[in-house]
Each structure stands twice: as C-alpha cells, then as structure tokens.
Amino acid sequence: MKPKIVVFTGAGVSAESGLKTFRDMGGLWHEHRLEDVASPEGWRRDPATVLRFYNERRLGVLAAQPNAAHAAIARLEEKYDVVVITQNIDDLHERAGSSQVLHVHGEILKARSSADQSRVYPMTGALIEIGDLCELGSQLRPDVVWFGENVRHLRESARHFAQADKVLAIGTSLTVWPAAGLVDHARDRAERVFVSPEQQEIPDHYRFLRGTAVEKVPPLVEAWLAQA
C-alpha cells in the first residue's frame, strides 16, 4: 500500500503558467466585481457579462501550459497514492498527468445547463454564447461554483485529508470557505507543508516553505520521492 499524499492547490499553483490569481496585485478581483461575474445574482442580472468573463479566462487556460510544479505533483504518483484537491477551475493538473483531481469549485472546460446543474457537458468550442442552449432549451453556463453555490466533493475531500500521510498546500490565500477549512482536516501525525511566496496566514502545524510553486515544489517532490 503506497503512502497517501493530499495536494491542496489554489490559484498560486497556476500563476507561473500565466494564469491570474484573484487577490494578488493585478488579480481578477481587482479587475472585476465578483458579485457581477461569479454569483447567481450577477448571472441573472447580466449573463452576457458573465459569459464574457469566463470565455476570456477559458481562452487563457487553453493557451496555458502546466508548469514545473504541476509536473512535479504528477510525478509523486510514482511512489505515492496522490489525490489533488484543487480550488482551481483550470485543467493544468490533469494535463500534467495527475490522475486523481477533485475540483471543489468546478471546471471551466465544462458547461452545464443553467436550469439543471446535473446536466454537464464537455466544452466543444472555446466559448459559451448567449443562445447556446442545453437539450432542455435552457442557457448553458460554465460548470463552475459561484459564490453562494454549493462547493463540491467537500466530505470526500475532508476524508482524503484525514487519511493523508503528507499534505502539501500550494498557492492559496485560504480566504474562501468552506474550501479553506479543509487544511484543518489533516491528522496530527501527517507531515504538512504550505508553499507561498509571501508571509500570510499559515495554517497551524504546517511547515512554511516561502517561495513560488515552481521554486519550491520540484525540490520537495524530489526529496519525498527519494525517501519513499
């Protein structure tokens, strides 16, 4: 039985792939009001603006490449049972080769019916436009979790944290609940590491590795692979 690792990621792990974070300088929430583009109220008020916001982000994701941190995380699977639990809606972990990825805030490369959240479709084109309807005739929207909507895989994720021998948290400000609370489900005897370039609220009992994902994750992964 391979030891188990949970890798918990936020927007910071994709920053060096050229994708914007939310709360850093120049981040998405400095350019847009989240109430307008990432809430059911914003959708009701002006769906075209919401679609434009996600179409632009989706084109960015399609043009981005996984970085050395994504690749290192995928390599952990050589010696460990790895579950990636990500707040990110991009597919860079999957494209880097990670085989168990839970997206607690949904996936930008999937569309869903705005009337029935169980009707989810792979994105055929890069854009969703007003007038793109599901087979029930309701407008398609991005299959992402907006503020005020239910986060996904929460119980399953908490269970994975509680079973992990090591937890690696990368690139998250831990400001959006309930996802942020997952880091506290790690058990006392688990090795816990937190990677971020800036001094911020580090969860209790996590070793802080100050630096970017690309700087800090590959050497840590090499060390963990060597010790396995």
15 near ligand APR, judged by CB under 6 A: yes
Complex with ligand APR: residue 77 or 149, whichever CB lies closer:
149
23 near ligand APR, judged by CB under 6 A: yes
Name which of 213, 183, 218 is nearest 197 in CA terms: 213
> Among 17, 87, 98, 114, which residue sits at the site for ligand APR (rule: CB under 6 A)?
87
Residue 17, marked binder? yes
Complex with ligand APR: residue 3 or 27, whichever CB lies closer:
27
What residues are paired with 129 via a beta bridge?
A: none
> Among 49, 65, 99, 175, which residue sits at the site for ligand APR (rule: CB under 6 A)?
175
Site string for ligand APR, 99-118 (x = CB under 6 A): ------x-------------
Q: What are the distances in angstroms from CA 202 to CA 22, 57, 58, 59?
A: 18, 28, 30, 33
Name which of 9, 23, 24 is nearest 182 in CA terms: 9
CA distance 47 to 40: 9
CB neighbourhood size of 224 (10 A): 20
Contact residues: ligand APR, CB under 6 A: 10-12, 15-16, 21-24, 27, 87, 105, 170-173, 175-176, 195-198, 200, 212-213
Active site residues: 105
